[in-house]
Amino acid sequence: MNDDNLWDRSGPPDPEIQRLEEMLAPFRYQIRRLEDKGPRPFRAWRLAAAAAVVLAIAAGVLWRAKAPAPEATPWSVEGIEGQARFGSRPAAMAMTVPGGQAVRTGPDGRLTLVAEDTGRVDLGPDSILHASSGRKLALERGGLHAYIWARPGQFVVDTPSARAIDLGCEYTLTVDARGDGRLRVSLGWVAFQYAGHESFIPAGAECATHVHGGPGVPFFEGAPEGLRRAVARFDANDPGAMAEILADARERDGLTVWHLLTRVAARDRGVVFDRFATLVKLPAEVRREAAVRGDARAIDQCWNALGLEDTDWWRGGARKW
């Protein structure tokens, strides 16, 4: 037996010792990492937790890679005054308005947006506007002036209390902190629509809109002050306001009286029609009983007698909205 093999493996192995080592091999000491010293269930839990973290990170990276960028709108910046931002970014000349992102102006801010196939919108101070991928805008607060050359019915501005549908026009729209608004038309027509209520505002007229009532009754800017106050009360559901409107109405105020035909209770419709008939020359085919009954054709015939714009125009192509 050569002892050198036992100490440093330098000598020839002894067959008997070699056989004994082979028998004891399964019990040989093995070095274990520190994290392997715990119970096996604990090691498995740690491995599962680590795998979950890796998967979560990978999923986040993939989601960010696949998340669509905000869709561009047809609107771009043509003018800036004072402070104006798109989300967290300052507005810049020629910048395209991103869809769905808030456009904000500061107390001294003004922003001009242009879409070549639609028109021009001037956003006033302290305003919040949202643009979609089409011609649709939403004025949350503040004011805008729109000059539109798109076909009627293509350009729409939503407010918290009504939707303004362009019928080929120029107008100013304001919305206060409560969501109430006011629209003044200087060219063409605008239709105000909300929850079954419709108001049609021609050039030279204006109309209020309210969060809890939708579009009100329009009137021409030169209307008597008493009529204007009575319209505001009527919009606020004052039952005594109707009589004051009828009493103060001039010939041109047939526009306002016509809107009452679709707003008053059936019991009051006869009084409204009779006053309307004194202000506007009605054709022979207009029947009082039909108008009082609320017949849509009779109401349309009354509108046509105003000489503003025939209902075939806005009930046809312009009213496809």
pLDDT digits (tens, 9 = 90+) for 254-281: 999 999 999 999 999 999 999 999 999 9
Among 34-38, 172-176, 193-197, 281-285, the least confident range? 34-38
Look at residues 85, 164, 98 and name the one whose alpha carbon lies nearest to residue 128. Answer: 85
38-41: long-range contacts, CB 8 A cutoff, minimum separation 24: none
pLDDT of amino acid 183: 97
Range picked from 13-22, 172-181, 299-308, 309-318 for highest mean pLDDT: 172-181
CA gap 142, 140 in Å, rounded: 7
Q: What domains can be seen in the chain, in order of their start residue?
A: 4-66 (no CATH), 72-216 (2.60.120.1440), 224-321 (no CATH)
Q: Please, which residues have CB within 8 angstroms of residue 213's CB and are 6 or more apart in sequence?
A: 161, 197, 235, 236, 237
What would the pLDDT profile of 47-57 be if each residue is shown by its tens digit? 454 455 445 44
Residue 47 C-alpha from the chain's centroid:
47
Specify the higher pLDDT residue, 130 or 318.
130
pLDDT at position 127 is 98
For residue 292, the one-letter residue type is V
Residues 6+ apart with CB under 8 A from 237: 213
pTM of the predicted model as reported, rounded to 2 decimal places: 0.75
Which amino acid is residue 39, in one-letter code? Answer: P
Binning pLDDT at 50, 70 and 90, where does residue 321 land? very low
CA atoms within 13 A on the CB side of 94: 0
- Spatial distance between the Cα atoms of 128 and 124, rounded to a whole number of angstroms: 9
Is 184:170 a contact under the CB 8 Å cutoff?
A: no
Contact indicator for 140, 157 with CB cutoff of 8 Å: no
Give the model confidence (pLDDT) of 192-251 as tens digits.
Answer: 998 778 899 999 999 999 998 899 999 999 999 999 999 999 999 998 999 999 999 999
What is the average per-residue pLDDT within 27-46? Answer: 49
Residue 139 banded pLDDT, cuts 50, 70, 90: very high
Q: What percent of the chain has pLDDT over 90?
A: 64
User: Mean of the per-residue pLDDT values for the chain?
Assistant: 83
The whole-angstrom separation of Cα 134 and Cα 117 is 11
